[in-house]
Structure 1
Amino acid sequence: MVRAPADWRSVLRRAEILVRRHDIRSLELLLPALRWRDVTARNRAVVLLARLGPMAVPALFARLDDAATAAERGGAADALGRIGDSRAVTRLVRALADPAMTVRRASVIGLLRLEAMNAVPRIARLLEEDESGGVRVIAAGVLGKFEDPRAVPALVRALVDVQWYVRQASATALGQIGDRRAMVPLENATRDPRKSVARAAAAALRALRA
């Protein structure tokens, strides 16, 4: 990562003018910004890349696949999800195996934005296997938003995850999906020693019984 230039706001203003014109030259200003250390500046560049739309997709694929820094790959995943181009689904699924947890998280969120139901089994596997609790909790939340019954077995097993926030997110997701296979595991989870998990399980049970 590199320090953002002192005039980064001016750089992004120039890029925004080009984006409004759908001018591909805006990529020359925006792609290097994915390496900037300043999170605010980098996030603004991501938003502008998303506004550029499908013409940015090939360049973002290249960054997602080959960029040296996690910030670049994560920014590319974020922008691809925001653009909403279905061509990105396969690349984002592949990025779920990225060594950086920030990239895996951005890819899960991108797949949700793309409404990529075919990615549900892969995200469910991420919930069960990823070493990062931060990734697992995002995966659980996204699976709940998909409301796909295929995720129920993984979410049930995640009710005993070592991290309480993953257990809580999994209980909430099961309530969103509404599959009655989860009732007994959720009843058990109402006795979780972490009160927030127990409350989430109780709320999920109420949703299933409604």
Structure 2
Amino acid sequence: MTDTYTALLGDSDLATLAPRLAAIDAATRRIALIELADEGDPAHLPLLIAGLNDADARVRAEAAQLLAGWDEVYVAHALAERLLDEDAGVRDAAAQSLSELKSPAAGTPLLAWAEHTDAYARAAALRALRELRLPAAQTPAQASLFHAHPGVRREAVGVLGWLKVAEALPALAELAQSDADAEVRRAATGALGFAADAQVAPALLAALGDAEWQVREEAATTLGKLRLAGAVIQLIGTLEHDIWQVRIKAARALGLLGDAAALPALIASLAHPAGNLRKEAAIALGEIGDPTAQAALDVAADDPDPEVRKAARLAISRLAAA
């Protein structure tokens, strides 16, 4: 192997790395790979890829990490092969590097992996395809929506949400309401945010009452994003939620909806112990723009929390401008 490394590195100063890349000691090989990657030379990619087949899992994991950011088809293919590595650390490193791909063309090898029988590999491929927005990813994603493994379902939901696949809305709405896994329900609830469709509203309103607060939080966020006027009453009720993070999202959504019916509940929220909620309530009152909130905002302008004071004063300015 030393001769192979020497030939690939040529007669440059880097040729001194050849013995270290083929050293018996795994730590030496790993450090040599790091030094090689520091050069940032595409010509050295074959050597980094060779590290993916090292006998030591730590060296393979390092090689997988070092290949992040290289938007080459053959790099993506080599990393995908490590999704089946016997070592979990190597699999995770390969999956993370694949998720950092930026070129849609580089993601094409992952389309086949998105239909792999191995659940981990399938989920990792779908995760990597998500932000690449490859239209061809729609097919494996839809085929994975009701996969037995929740991680696969969650990543499939993400792909379809980013691609804004309208025909997937019924399935996404179903998952948002009834999937056994809370993370899948949360992901599906968020994915519904690309279309203010009639079939979306019931699913989102149902998600406001989900058993898990993270799903309720996501539902409030999505309702605000879609500005679904029919959700005002339910969102006002959510301002009484026992988890303040959910209340924050509800306040934000009510501000975006701009319905004065929310004024009493938002004004009451200005007295909540959580400063972040008081701030969001002040912002929402400014967005609604009803002068009825003036007196409460005047009090909030002297709040002990500087962020709340700032939000209240901006809201007062908006009322004055209106």
Please state which band the TM-score falls in when normalised by the shorter chain.
0.7 to 0.9
3-state secondary structure, aligned to 2:148: coil
- 8 Å CA contact retained: 2:205, 2:219: yes
Normalized against structure 2, the TM-score is what? 0.54
Residue 79 of structure 1 pairs with residue 128 of structure 2: yes
Q: How does 1:17-166 map to 2 (within 5 A)?
A: 20=72, 22=73, 25-26=74-75, 29-36=78-85, 37-38=88-89, 39-48=92-101, 51=103, 53-54=104-105, 57=108, 59-68=109-118, 70-144=119-193, 146-150=194-198, 151-166=200-215
1:13 to partner: Cα distance: 5.8
Flag the structure with larger Rg.
2
In structure 1, runs of 5+ residues without a counterpart are none
Over 3 Å counting, the alpha-carbon distance change for 1:142 and 1:14 in structure 2 is closer
- 8 Å CA contact retained: 1:60, 1:80: yes
Percent sequence identity is 28
**How far, CA to CA, are the matches of 1:189 and 1:112 in structure 2?**
25
**How far, CA to CA, are the matches of 1:15 and 1:206 in structure 2?**
40
**How far, CA to CA, are the matches of 2:247 and 2:145 in structure 1?**
30
- 8 Å CA contact retained: 2:196, 2:226: yes
3-state secondary structure, aligned to 2:115: helix
More moved, 131-140 vs 108-117: 108-117
**How far, CA to CA, are the matches of 1:201 and 1:114 in structure 2?**
26
1:156 to partner: Cα distance: 0.4
String of CA shifts for 1:140-161, please: whole Å, max 9, x gaps: 22223x1423411100011111
Amino acid at match of 1:166: V
| Structure number with higher relative contact order (C-alpha < 8 Å, ≥ 6 residues apart) | 1
- 8 Å CA contact retained: 1:78, 1:110: yes
Pick aligned residue for 1:188 from 223, 237, 257: 237
3-state secondary structure, aligned to 2:59: coil
**How far, CA to CA, are the matches of 1:14 and 1:156 in structure 2?**
43
